[in-house]
Amino acid sequence: MIFRPQILLVLSLLLSLFLFAIGFFPQKNVLKGLADFHYNSEQQRETKPVFQKLVLVVIDALRSDFLFDETNSHFHFIHSQLNEGTAWGFTAYSNPPTVTLPRLKGITTGSTPNFLDAILNVAEDDVSTTLADQDSLLAQFHLQNKKINFFGDDTWLKLFPRDWFNEVEGTNSFFVSDFEVVDTNVSRHLTKQLKHNHDWDVLIMHYLGLDHIGHKDGASSKFMPEKHIEMDNIVRQVYENIDDDTLLVVMGDHGMNEVGNHGGSSAGETSAGLVFLSNKLKKGELPLKQRHLNLPIKRQTDENFQFLTSVQQIDLVPTLATLFNIPIPKNNVGIVIPEFLQFLRKDMINIKLMENYHQLLQLSKGQDLPNIPFDHMDSKNIMNKMKEIQDELTKNATNYNYSYLGRGYLLLIFTTVTVFIVFILNQKSLYCATTIITIVISLLVGLSSFGSSFVEEEHQIWWWIITGSIMFSCIETLISNPSKSTVFNHFLIAVCARIIRGWNNSGQKHVYEFILTNILKNHYNTLWYLICTTIYYIGLKNTIRTDFLSFLGPFFMTTLCFVYKLDWAIVNNESVPEWFYVITKEASDILLKVGHSPKDAFKEALLPLATLFYQTFVALVSIRIIFLVFFSRRKTFFDDISNYISLLLIFQSTATNIPQFLVFEFLKKSITKVLQNYHQENKNNYLPLISLILQSFTFFQFGGTNSIATIDISNAYHGISENYNIYLVGIFMTISNFAPSIYWIISMWPILYAEIPESSSKWNIYFKNKLPLLVFNCIVGCCLLAACYILRYHLFIWSVFSPKLCYFLGWNVFMNFVVGWLVEGTLVALY
């Protein structure tokens, strides 16, 4: 392979993006050390706390309506306590990104989240997220020699040192198909903990099952009511076994959207439930919005998740610090919930308010203040001042590194200019169709980066791009070769595009009921016959005219793929046709060779089935490469490899999305027929554009968006045991989320390298094919990075523009460099 400037240019593009990202996502500066009381410190230390013990029950993804809404909530015990006044309810606003790691940081330190924490949320062995050196509620409890027991989501154990806990057991948070065992592993400790309550001062339990149900089946899943009742019974059990000096707090770390995902900034994702329970609360005056209400209540609209009094979730931190009479953590941005001040001695109310005020002011200015005569200050005025400081601190949570931002952007500008020059020099004419289309699409997508709604609804842009491209192609082809077949093939392309368009909910603003995914879920027989057809068609389409031995390998891998998807569905309580169920049971029994109950057999078979599939995939790819290298079997090489990879993509996809691959096949055949009207060189000029458009269009129609909330982790653990490798999980998760886009990269290979003209080499085709994508990524990159810089203080910078930047970086690293350059380049070198 001869060195080409494109190699240097793609590396320069990646370097510029990384430099900008380092400057845009710096680690947040935090105050070190542990806080102490500032105002009347001796008097505060001698004051008896309102409560002696704390039980914190975190129910992952507990959205506010799950607690308070008359339709969605089944927490009947909590409702009864809210109505009796022994429980106080709130809707707690969770600052995005709404994923567990940054939210746990928020509810223990009171600080606003760092966006990078959302990315590190899946990195179980990452140590950069620890709070061991930061002030927090747990650090303050530990300093006071309080015994802390913890059971549940092991994210806590990544945040806090194990030696802070008296008793501890973590459960893994990412096996989202399990929503039973993951909770019973927590609850089995409950009886002992309540019986021996002298062994702890703080008891923390973090339940994951409700969140897993959401990821698997959505917020309206049939499994939700049963899980609500299970959690409600746990709350009842705790409440009935604690005394008046123990405070029970039940809360969600974040909410979820209707699809069951989270990470973004929609109302459902940021509205978490929060309830305080204690018999002592009955002695106080109820929060204003809870008075004269009978819970549960009906919400006004489907988009409204505000119930009772609204607070910031981080307000929990100074509130608990006040009630337990410990110093407020140094980096806290929360404000004590005023309704709880009535439980303090009158002489302590202003002291605690000024303590909170002083802490916030010190955090905002980084300096100490003179001893203000707090006795003469109005408490309402102090609260208003604290709100102002809180708003300012939340808005300016991140310190950008402008040096890295500048270097990254200047390098990107230089790279873009160079790429454009190389691109023009490689075109026959500046005004040829492919040149103009490439620049127009790049500018259209790039300029849309400046609008938050365009970023959220980017699928609309690609829909108009693909429909416009179909019309342009039809007109151009009819001019050069008018025929009925041309019109018919373009009609088929349009029909396929429309079917793909209606398959899933796309974008972040609207959710539609009448989509093909929902229809197929309600007609499971049709769904599974389509899945069967798709898997076997793609797996065996190139084996029809081969000998038996060549047929056997692909057939075995195809069958493994199909049986695994059936097994996965059965384990997750999804309906499958009866005779498919029988086939899967027989396969599970044969594989395990031991006696199991039917349910256990299906579950136990998942790991060996997935492992065998991956081993078969590696074996078939290796054998095909060996036949190419040692026996010069060039014919159908790229067809075979692309089919094997397509089966892997299907294996990593959700069941309801698998039939889309059958539509992709029809679409590809129609495109191939249209391209037959072109000369091979013109065909090769259009292929990168076709691939680019279909990669982005199908990514969004597969259910993807520019939000972290739609990252699918449910397919990232196929074949992964509990002692999993985070890098493998990361690879599988990336393949799962980019599956349709990868398909359209590999589908172009057989067409691109089918006929290599004598005057051209495979490397000429390979490098020329990369130029339009480089132009697109450079132009879009320039616009997106400029948008992120200009709008860095925009309201939606962390919920809209930052995720878009992460997706763009991930797309360039994985899709364009790893798949488009490394994998394709390796195969071309072998070819």
Model confidence over 251-310: pLDDT tens digits?
999 999 887 888 877 889 999 999 999 999 999 999 999 998 899 998 877 678 999 999
Residue 370: pLDDT band with limits 50, 70, 90: very low
- What's the start-to-end Cα distance of the chain, in Å? 12
pLDDT > 90? residue 401: no
Model confidence over 762-788: pLDDT tens digits?
888 888 889 999 999 999 999 999 999
Tell whether 20 and 139 lie within a shared domain. no
pLDDT > 50? residue 70: yes
Report the alpha-carbon distance of residue 298 to residue 295 in Å, rounded.
9
Tell whether 383 and 440 lie within a shared domain. no
Tell whether 85 and 167 lie within a shared domain. yes
DSSP β-ladder status, 309-312 and 87-93: parallel
Tell whether 146 and 3 lie within a shared domain. no
Which of the two residues, 175 and 825, has the higher pLDDT score? 825
Neighbours of 333 (CB within 10 A): 27
C-alpha closest to that of 148 among 210, 184, 202: 202
Report the alpha-carbon distance of residue 222 to residue 203 in Å, rounded.
31
pLDDT > 60? residue 128: no
Q: How many residues in the chain? A: 831
Q: Is the peptide bond before 757 cis (omega within 30 degrees of 0)?
A: no
**At a CB cut-off of 8 Å and minimum separation 6, what does 201 contact?**
52, 53, 54, 141, 146, 147, 148
- Residue 234 counted as domain residue: yes
Tell whether 90 and 202 lie within a shared domain. yes
pLDDT confidence of residue 89 = 96
SS (H, E, C) 163-206: HHEEEEEEECCCCCCCCCHHHHHHHCCHHHHHHCHHHCCEEEEE
* DSSP 8-state class, residue 820: I
Residue 120 is encoded by which pair of tokens?
């590190």
pLDDT confidence of residue 367 = 42
Whether 737 and 653 have beta carbons less than 8 Å apart is answered as: no
Residue 798: pLDDT band with limits 50, 70, 90: confident
Report the alpha-carbon distance of residue 170 to residue 694 in Å, rounded.
43
**At a CB cut-off of 8 Å and minimum separation 6, what does 694 contact?**
466, 667, 744
Tell whether 199 and 245 lie within a shared domain. yes
Report the alpha-carbon distance of residue 438 to residue 430 in Å, rounded.
12
C-alpha closest to that of 75 among 275, 258, 219, 268: 275
* DSSP 8-state class, residue 14: H
Residue 753: pLDDT band with limits 50, 70, 90: confident
Model confidence over 503-529: pLDDT tens digits?
987 876 677 778 898 899 889 999 999
- Residue 449 counted as domain residue: yes
- How far is Cα of residue 614 from the mean position of the Cα atoms in its chain? 25
Tell whether 206 and 300 lie within a shared domain. yes
Q: What is the Rg, in whole angstroms, of the alpha carbon atoms belonging to the chain?
A: 29
Residue 681: pLDDT band with limits 50, 70, 90: low
Model confidence over 207-264: pLDDT tens digits?
999 998 888 778 888 889 999 999 999 999 999 999 999 999 999 999 998 878 888 7
SS3 (DSSP) at 756 = coil
Residue 297 is encoded by which pair of tokens?
């209540």
Tell whether 411 and 386 lie within a shared domain. no
Q: What is the mean pLDDT of residues 689-718?
A: 88
Residue 16 is encoded by which pair of tokens?
């510029």
Whether 555 and 683 have beta carbons less than 8 Å apart is answered as: no
SS3 (DSSP) at 406 = helix
Q: Which of the listed residues 342, 372, 395 is the one where a domain comes to its end?
A: 395
Give the DSSP H/E element, type plus range, for residue 90.
strand 87-93
Neighbours of 527 (CB within 10 A): 24
Report the alpha-carbon distance of residue 648 to residue 771 in Å, rounded.
28
C-alpha closest to that of 539 among 651, 635, 702, 625: 651
Residue 470: pLDDT band with limits 50, 70, 90: very high
Q: Which residues pair with 311 in a beta bridge?
A: 92
Report the alpha-carbon distance of residue 755 to residue 212 in Å, rounded.
49
Report the alpha-carbon distance of residue 831 to residue 829 in Å, rounded.
6
- Residue 711 counted as domain residue: no
Tell whether 7 and 75 lie within a shared domain. no
- Residue 153 counted as domain residue: yes
Burial of 405 (0-12, 13-18, 19+ CB in 10 A): buried
Report the alpha-carbon distance of residue 585 to residue 596 in Å, rounded.
11
pLDDT confidence of residue 418 = 95
C-alpha closest to that of 239 among 276, 267, 207: 276
- Residue 247 counted as domain residue: yes
Report the alpha-carbon distance of residue 439 to residue 735 in Å, rounded.
29
Give DSSP secondary structure letters for 596-627: --HHHHHHHHHHHHHHHHHHHHHHHHHHHHHH
Sheet strands (E) in 107-230: 148-153, 165-171, 202-207
For tokens 């490469």, name the residue.
625
C-alpha closest to that of 124 among 713, 783, 805: 713
- Residue 468 counted as domain residue: no
Count how many domains the chain has: 2
Whether 170 and 154 have beta carbons less than 8 Å apart is answered as: yes
pLDDT confidence of residue 634 = 78
- Residue 531 counted as domain residue: no
Tell whether 411 and 368 lie within a shared domain. no
Q: Which of the listed residues 395, 417, 447 is the one where a domain comes to its end?
A: 395
Strand order in the sheet with 246-251: 165-171, 148-153, 202-207, 53-59, 246-251, 271-277, 87-93, 309-312
Residue 227 is encoded by which pair of tokens?
């899980």
Calculate the alpha carbon distances from 9 to 368, 785, 822 in Å.
51, 18, 15
Tell whether 389 and 412 lie within a shared domain. no
Neighbours of 386 (CB within 10 A): 21
Helix-, strand-, coil-residue percentages of the chain, each rounded to 5: 60, 5, 30
pLDDT confidence of residue 120 = 58
CA dihedral sign of residues 31, 802, 17, 738: positive
Residue 749 is encoded by which pair of tokens?
């290979």
Tell whether 449 and 321 lie within a shared domain. no
pLDDT > 80? residue 593: no
Which of the two residues, 652 and 715, has the higher pLDDT score? 652
Kindly give the interhelix angle for 379-395 and 346-365, rounded to the nearest 10 degrees.
Answer: 30
Sheet strands (E) in 263-387: 271-277, 309-312
- Domain, as residue range, for 233: 50-395
- Residue 690 counted as domain residue: no
One-letter amino acid of 698: T
Q: Is the peptide bond before 554 cis (omega within 30 degrees of 0)?
A: no
Phi, psi of 360 (to 5 degrees): -70, -40
CATH number of the CATH domain containing 243: 3.40.720.10
For tokens 């045991």, name the residue.
721
- How far is Cα of residue 672 from the mean position of the Cα atoms in its chain? 35
Report the alpha-carbon distance of residue 211 to residue 207 in Å, rounded.
8
Q: What is the pTM of this model?
A: 0.84
Q: Which of the listed residues 352, 371, 395 is the one where a domain comes to its end?
A: 395
